[in-house]
Structure 1
Amino acid sequence: MIQRRDLLLAAAAATGALPAGAEAPRKVLRCCYNSAEVGFDPPQVSDQTSVAVNAHIFESPLAYDALAEPARLVPQTAAALPEVSADFRRFVFTLKPGIMFADDPAFGGRPRELVAADYVYTIKRFYDPRLKTEHLYQFETARILGLSELRQRAIRSRMPFDYDAPVEGLRALDRYRFELRLAAPDPRFVHLFANAGLTGAVAREVVERYGADLMAHPVGTGPFRLRQWRRSSLIVLEKNPRFREQFFDAVAPEGDAHALAMQRHLQGKRLPVLDEVRISIIEEEQPRWLAFAGGELDTLEMPPGVAPLVLPRGRLAPHLQRRGVQARATVGASTRLSYFNFDDAQIGGYTPEKVALRRAILIAYDNAAEIRLVFKGQALPAQSLLSPSGYGYDPLLRSEMSAADPARARALLDTWGYLDRDGDGWRENPDGSPLLLRLAGVADSRQRQINELWSKQMQAIGLRIVFETGTFGELIKRALAGKLQIWSYSWSVSTPDGDFFLGMAYGPNAEQSNDARFRLAAYDRLYERQRVLPDGPERLALMQQCNRLMLAYAPYIAHWHAIRVDLTQPAVRAYRRHAFNRDWWRYADLV
């Protein structure tokens, strides 16, 4: 039976007003991810689910404008963009006063204001040897004066890291200002401060209170806080009652109809608009799609496997159009890749025969077939790791990854002595020892399809391959420990620059982002030279030289760049996933 109150609320929704004494219905957004979270301490995680959740809880001093194209830095907890010296070696950030952390028992029942010392502490945590992180290189590459030495002192003495020790390169100048000094120029250093995973402020009291259980107790200044967590199943975020007044004021670029609609809907509204976000973990494609089709989810990144059903001939299916479902396609700032572990005796090394083996594998593997058969055309072929959204990307580059050529791969293996000496159908190493490839991946139906392709294409050139599986979190731990030989995964970048992908081959980043553990002095010198240069022709030339060395030695196979299609139910408004910001629920609305 329809109640009188329901009719009143319906009428109020139509007019934008509520009857006196009536409560507005809670706005609850339901969404999902296809991989389980690891936890909610930013330095310790890199999986997409944890990173997205953290971006809504923790806040960096800067962010990217919600609508600007190309990406543009704007203040977030900072009062303005930082002061930057002419030589790009000194940076001073000034915070807005009155920004509060979410309430937590760690604060003893008192409100806790965000201050400059919190960012000093947040950055120092990455240098603590007891904290296992794969992100330290982001700061060490920037060479903040004194911090690496403080870390080494803790390692040598086997004493706890001294968070209170003063260092020249990082200090709070007063309650709201902090300063960083670098050993060398870094024109793009400020982008680290628009990434909640690197510089999202953490309070020392919270870290010390929860210790080993910190991953379950995220406390930040962001628009949401963690209300419920069922591991690998459900994450519930609720609006942070302590969140400051923030009103939407972004301006849509000319000609972007989707951005203009978002601007019109949100202009002047206080953020966040949502009361709650419920995130389900649904690993398999078909259940994710069925949950959206059945109205159990409000948003969904379209699983590639259902593309023929959802986007026949590239257009949203008529039955979805009639329901009012919306679809928006974007090329993500990501690359699907496979790495070869250079410390592995079978696949690694810099000698000509090892280079030939890796290049034969990448020439034989059919990326076009993977895009067509597994990802249903929802990707752009990659020529190198650099993604189209990053500075340094060369749209004219054509590499060996463009088209599979098994005959050429077989000839390369024959030339360098990878022959089937015992007649069992599989090639051995040039010294006659057995040759076995091991590819790691998560245990889901999509990976099984990918494994089938690898098996077929490696068999075509006489290489034996076996498959290892694990959760994403388990595979990250094994990768960091150098225990995986080959691993295929996607990596999304958080800045509009190609430096991140080039850094995946920088020697000092081995055991962090450089999963391949590639170490080549000539490459490292080129990489270091391009890092200190401002954007321009000289830097671009060095970036291209780095890219050519990566293509020559083949520490990675670049497979493709994802085309992401976001589906939303009719009630969803202002949902726009940003290529570099991860806090898109800050802006979303339901009507």
Structure 2
Amino acid sequence: MDRRTFSGLALGSAVTGPLWAQPAAAAKKKVLRYAFRAPESTLDPVKASDIYSRTITAHIFESLYTYDHLARPVKFKPLLAAGMPEHDEGYRVWRVKLRSGIYFPSDAAFKGQRREVVAEDLVYAMKRFADPKNVSPVWGFIDSFKFLGLAELRQKAMDQKTAFDYDTPIPGVRALDKTTIEYRMAQPRPRFIEFLAASDLFGAVAREVVEHYGADIDKHPVGTGPFKLTEWRRASLIVLERNPEYREHFYDAEPAPDDAEGQAMLAKFKGRRLPMIDRVELSIIQESQPRWLSFLNEEHNLIQEVPPEFISQAMPNGQIAPHLQKRGVRGQRVLMPDNAYTMFNLEDEVVGGYTPERVALRRAIALGMDVEREIRLTQHGQAVIAQASVAPQTTSYDPQFRSAMSEYNPTKAKALLEMYGYVDRNGDGWREQPNGQPLVLNWSMEDDQRGRQRSEIWLKDMKAIGLKVEFKTGKWPELLKAARAGNFQVWQVGGQSASPDSQGSLQRYDGSQVGGQNLARFKRPEMDAIYTKLSEMPDGPERDKLFVEAFRIGTVWMPYKIRYHSVRADLFHKGVTGYRRPVFWQEFWHYVDVES
């Protein structure tokens, strides 16, 4: 799933413990500068679901495990954990031992001191997702793991209209002692380590910090990670600096033997203390041209996702343009584990519901969308048409798989509409609903250049099949907020897989995640049963067959039109070394060096 004015954080008084050696006065700070193309929404992990917010939180907070920065295929490594997890009772119980000597940095919440991480910090962090007061968009995903007692504790607070009781122990998430966490779930979870490796969401959180800052906790993210927030101008500028109290953490990785680039990075950086840079400056530049010019003018030394309209200037035929090569610019192209999709509000009185005529309308709209043209005009060829919700680079993705999801057939779309009573009764050129009422599609759209391009394409596509469209424009965070509340009819978003398991792409179909990852508010018992079964099954051919059935159900009911998977081109100026785009995770700043 698959996105604000604050500065000068007061982080307490004198620091105790080992610090980074102070650089010489003349030493120039190493700064990574780049831009997000949409604003962040929050810096509180419990409320984050967009990739921009989660990129920031992933560098402030740390989870029990992480991904090897260079390994492809991916490998998991201990981060806060002392070693790999233990599991028993058929993957229903998982236990993790914490590494000693890891601290939250000095903060006013700790009376100006630093404080060592304990197992209860991970328990508390998990319980925050269940607290109804936090209205976490990730709660449905958490609940799908069926941690014993967690949903019941949440329900008790809701039923009694009382504060969530963080002090009541539950068997599902508990500290066995100061350094041991145990997770107990109702069903087997063979891939639970993927859950434990999401630093952007499930990092250690100190209860003292949350209680100290209260409603302002969003402005005071305090984690164990390599960076700390120092300036925040919402939707404009976010500045993070090296955490001066970050523990000794050294560069190491396991690239594949035939990965020449990865092996070269390992040889260059192995043993270097992390992070290697001093500061990260993130701008919010939603329009493509100024974002591209900021990179060309070296105001930014990295650009993630070269705007498609400039790809021919940047990487013609997949190669760095000669004029950029002369300046020392380097780059990478990656088929992303993502989906771009159009979604329908299944609770809407026009496009929602499960009756044959409503399903026919959604399928006709999907058949009428010329995705190949969209890719050519808005992505400039930097995408591949999607066949299902499964994302590239995940376990059950098959590049040879084909389905009706990708079909473009306006003739069939018109026949489907005619069959189910969507006809032009008054001769004005637009179809009415089967009951004779006017039919107007209210389509939400971002008010930026790409949004305007898409609106022109889809206006033409829908006109060709006799459907009238009116666009409601707004800023991304506003549209996301409305979608979570179910206040939309048709909208388009993108989702990126957060783990290697293809099941992550099916969260948007899970009925328990309505308002969270499931923005379409789709609920079908057969899909919910498949989602639950997929969670419990080990990897293998039988599980892959179940994915195909899930893809079929998604195509039949069409709550989402999965359009394409994007190809991203990232460029970086001379001096930026060590960059490799993460696949399923967000953290990478501490593995990058910026040389003068």
Same structural fold, with TM-score higher than 0.5 when normalized by the shorter chain = yes
* Partner AA of 1:518 in structure 2: F
Deviation at 1:376, TM superposition (A): 0.6
CA distance in 2: counterparts of 1:522 and 1:402, whole angstroms: 23
Q: What is the aligned partner in structure 2 of residue 218 from structure 1?
A: 221
The correspondence for 2:191, drawn from 179, 188, 191, is: 188
Task: Report what 2:481 is aligned to.
Answer: 477
1:552-563 alignment runs, 5 A limit: 552-563=556-567
Q: Which residue matches 2:466?
A: 462
Cα deviation, residue 98, structure 1: 0.8
Q: Distance in 2 between matches of 1:206 and 1:317?
A: 49
| Inter-partner Cα distance in structure 2 for 1:472 and 1:106 | 33
Alignment partner of 1:89 out of 89, 92, 102: 92
Residue of structure 2 equivalent to 1:416: 420
Q: What corresponds to 1:134 in structure 2? A: 137
Mapping of residues 116-155 of structure 1, within 5 Å: 116-155=119-158
**1:21: Cα distance to partner?**
6.4
CA contact (8 A) 1:364 1:409 kept: yes
Partner of 1:303: 307
CA contact (8 A) 2:430 2:466 kept: yes
Distance in 1 of aligned mates of 2:534 and 2:317: 43
**Please, which of 28, 31, 34 is the counterpart of residue 25 of structure 1?**
28
State the 4+ residue runs in structure 1 displaced beyond 4 angstroms: 20-23
Q: 1:282 aligns with which of 269, 281, 285?
A: 285
RMSD across aligned positions (CA): 1.3
> Which of residues 445, 448, 470 is equivalent to 2:449?
445
Distance 1:21 1:426 in 2: 71
Q: Is the 8 A contact 2:309 2:379 kept in 1?
A: yes
Amino acid at match of 2:372: A
Partner of 1:407: 411
Aligned to 2:323: 319
**Counterpart of 2:114 in 1: which secondary structure?**
coil
What is the Cα deviation at residue 407 of structure 1? 1.1
Structure 1 window deviating more from structure 2 (251-260 vs 194-203): it is 251-260
Matches within 5 A, 1:336-375: 336-375=340-379
Matches of 1:280 and 1:22, distance apart in 2: 27
Equivalent residue number for residue 510 of structure 2: 506
SS at match of 2:194: helix
Q: CA deviation at 1:68?
A: 1.1
Give me the TM-score of the superposition, normalised by structure 2: 0.94
Partner AA of 1:490 in structure 2: G
Contact 2:81 2:96 in 1 (8 A): yes
- The answer to whether the 8 A contact 1:265-1:573 is kept is no
- Given that 2:508 and 2:519 are in contact with CA atoms closer than 8 Å, whether structure 1 keeps it comes out as yes
Matches within 5 A, 1:145-294: 145-294=148-297
Secondary structure of 2:158's counterpart equals: helix
Answer yes or no: is the 8 Å Cα contact 2:442–2:489 preserved in 1: yes
* Alignment correspondent of 2:339: 335
- Displacement of 1:86 after TM fit? 4.8
Within 2, Cα distance between the matches of 1:159 and 1:403?
51
Distance 1:469 1:218 in 2: 32
Provide Cα deviations, 1:340-374, integer angstroms capped at 9, x if missing partner.
11100100111111111111111110111111000
**Equivalent of 1:488 in 475, 489, 492:** 492
SS in 1 for 2:103: coil
Matches of 2:398 and 2:417 in 1, distance apart?
30
The aligned amino acid for 1:548 is R
Instruction: Answer whether contact 2:59 2:200 (CA < 8 A) is retained.
Output: no
Which position in structure 2 is the counterpart of 1:391? Answer: 395
CA distance in 2, matches of 1:257, 1:467: 48
- What is the alpha-carbon distance in structure 2 between the residues aligned to residue 310 and residue 250 of structure 1? 30
Which stretch of the first structure deviates more once superposed, 447-456 or 529-538? 529-538
Corresponding residue of 2:41: 38
- Taking the aligned partners of 1:254 and 1:331, their CA distance within structure 2 comes to 22
Range that drifts further, 305-314 or 268-277: 305-314
Q: CA deviation at 1:317?
A: 1.1
The gaps in structure 2 that reach 5 residues or longer are 1-22
Moved more, 492-501 or 117-126: 492-501
Equivalent residue, structure 1, for 2:75: 72
519-528 or 211-220, which deviates more: 519-528
Contact 1:392 1:544 in 2 (8 A): no
Give the Cα separation in 2 of the matches to 1:117 and 1:21.
40
Partner deviation per Cα, 1:270-325 (whole Å, 9 max, x = no partner):
10000111111111100011011011111002111101211223322110111110
Give the corresponding residue for 1:8.
none
Q: Does 1:527 align with 2:499?
A: no
2:585 pairs with one of 575, 581, 584: 581
Q: Which moved more, 1:523-532 or 1:35-44?
A: 523-532
Contact 1:129 1:154 in 2 (8 A): yes
Greater relative contact order (Cα 8 A, min sep 6): structure 1 or 2? 2
Q: Is the 8 A contact 1:368 1:403 kept in 2?
A: no
Name the counterpart of 2:541: 537
Deviation (angstroms), 1:526? 2.0
Q: Secondary structure, in 3 states, of the residue corresponding to 1:207?
A: helix
Q: Which residue is equivalent to 2:63?
A: 60
Structure 1: give runs of 5+ residues left out of the alignment. 1-19
SS of the equivalent of 1:101 reads strand
Cα distance, 1:189–1:557 mapped onto 2, change above 3 Å: same
The superposition leaves residues 324-349 of structure 1 with CA deviations (integer Å, 9 ceiling, x where unpaired) of 10010011121111111110010011
SS of the residue corresponding to residue 84 of structure 1 reads: strand
Instruction: Give secondary structure in 1 for the equivalent of 2:372.
Output: helix
Contact 1:285/1:303 (8 A) holds in 2: yes
The separation in 2 between residues aligned to 1:510 and 1:239, in whole angstroms, is 38
Native 8 Å contact 1:102 1:225 kept in 2: no
TM-score, normalised relative to structure 1: 0.95
Deviates more, 1:188-197 or 1:51-60: 188-197
Question: Shift of residue 22 of structure 1?
Answer: 6.5
Percent identity, aligned pairs only, is: 45
Q: Which amino acid aligns with 1:590?
A: V
1:23 Cα offset (Å): 4.5
Question: 3-state DSSP class of the match of 1:566?
Answer: strand
Contact in 2 for aligned 1:47/1:473 (Cα 8 Å) = no
Residue deviations 1:177-216, cap 9 Å, x none? Answer: 1111111111122211111233111111111111111111
Q: Return the alpha-carbon distance in structure 2 between the equivalents of residues 506 and 231 of structure 1.
A: 32
Partner of 1:9: none
- CA drift at 1:160: 0.1
